[in-house]
Structure 1
């Protein structure tokens, strides 16, 4: 049995030949839009098949992404390719047969993956083993700020380990484990599969990425500036670590480095990488170990599409504890004085009111008293 039988029927081919939807003349304009954004963009598809499905774990799942935003999803339970964002629904409305065709392709992939999992278990001598075995496929492309292809990948994994990958440079398949050599040999001698996938990654994938960016431009081409913070942590050896923290920025591409007296100190820094947030934005951090006496010479330089020019962030000493204590004491004293004044005014007012109501006769007597007139001189 041949592992990874390719394109036995047209609908069972990879969802790469999108000739059912003509490319519009807006591709050039979209390329210009992406070029002006200053950031890279990507389109990737992830397929996952499992040998033993369970609750919440379909036997086959396929999800498409533009940048880090899921755009469509198919699984073996729903049996349909379904849009995941509103602008993909709009895309489907403009292309009525799109979702039907994509669903048929995913169903073909589901059938192939079941056969391939059986074949792989034989290759790895796991016919009688228990537990879940997985087959994964990832393929897609990334374009740079100029809209040109920066990276294209087509690779398989089995049980979480690399299995087979396309080398675009040599137009051959790279076997990551001995069990993949049979597949590599067959694909390179019996088919033109490597050529086909290379052509897809360098042409069709880039073109369709531009179309999707056009429909999703309000979210995918937006910019959100990072919220910045510089923090400090004391070490045990007399040194200190400065942290440059950035939150809530979009797009993902960002340039961050620590500078000392204007000199790039990238080689001395550590970073946690760029991590997505639940709201679609990103965060990252960068740290560097410094001599406490020299921390004023360091600045964190940040470059991002949302910024008209790079930011230079420095550590700022917070107010001293003594100053904070003085401020608190002064605040308490002022509050106490205001309270005393308020109570005094209130009590005087109350006493005045009581005196007015308690002596009404006095007021009348004053009005009826005999006035002494001063005689004319």
Structure 2
């Protein structure tokens, strides 16, 4: 067991190192949230080693203050990672509701968390069955429920993202869900906390490998996916699919359909969705959403330039251009033109005056 503890200690420090590497090497919500997730797990490994060693008797100040609360942050942080990755959505105020369970736990157990170290150890021992075990069950259930939610989230956005993101999301979700099930099983059947070391060793091995690969080679997933997908379509075939999409967009204005998906586009041009997805990721090198939104923004720009549409409000232009709402339209317009629709309209009116 001592050898495993030393191995786990090394994993913990390496995981924290990888977390810092991801944080400083790449920007954006997707990388930031993944970095935070890995950091949380690295700190939990250190907390586990501390709580199950003789060190806790000498320095009891930190006992019980991390493990119980940290478990309620994994799901929310990874959820923000997936929404940034799959939906290309930034953090919103409503996302704070994900952290309500963590806040409830902190408030509910504030009396324990504020106790001095030795008193906190005695409290955990005296209230293990009536308070600590229910909290452990709540922690495991919370993690497991988020694992189930991630499955639905990926399924909902599965056809709207390219193959690279799908492979990555499925890999991370599988790791999370398997570890969530293992954690739930251990919470129910483990005889003591030391048996959890097998959980930490197996989980940290997977997390460490994934984090290390992404840190050393950020484009690893793209390379792997490209290797296996490229054999299905030649460049000439992908060029043909791209041209069919462009022709359909220009002739039939299919991009104006706000409910357009890869399957619907596939039906329109008689191509399978995964072939379109591969074309987007390998030839066009742009997501399906971005590719479609480019056409929508060009259409919106035309409306903003014409006098007959000057009485249209920005929201009306957004809906006419194929967007579901004004917020999505504003984000896409700023992304592709580096200015707001109202500023673009004003500048064009001044130029035409």
Global fold match (TM > 0.5): no
Which is strand-richer, 1 or 2? 1
Coarse TM-score class (shorter-chain normalised):
under 0.3
TM-score, L = length of structure 1: 0.21
Larger relative contact order (Cα-Cα within 8 Å, sequence gap ≥ 6): 2
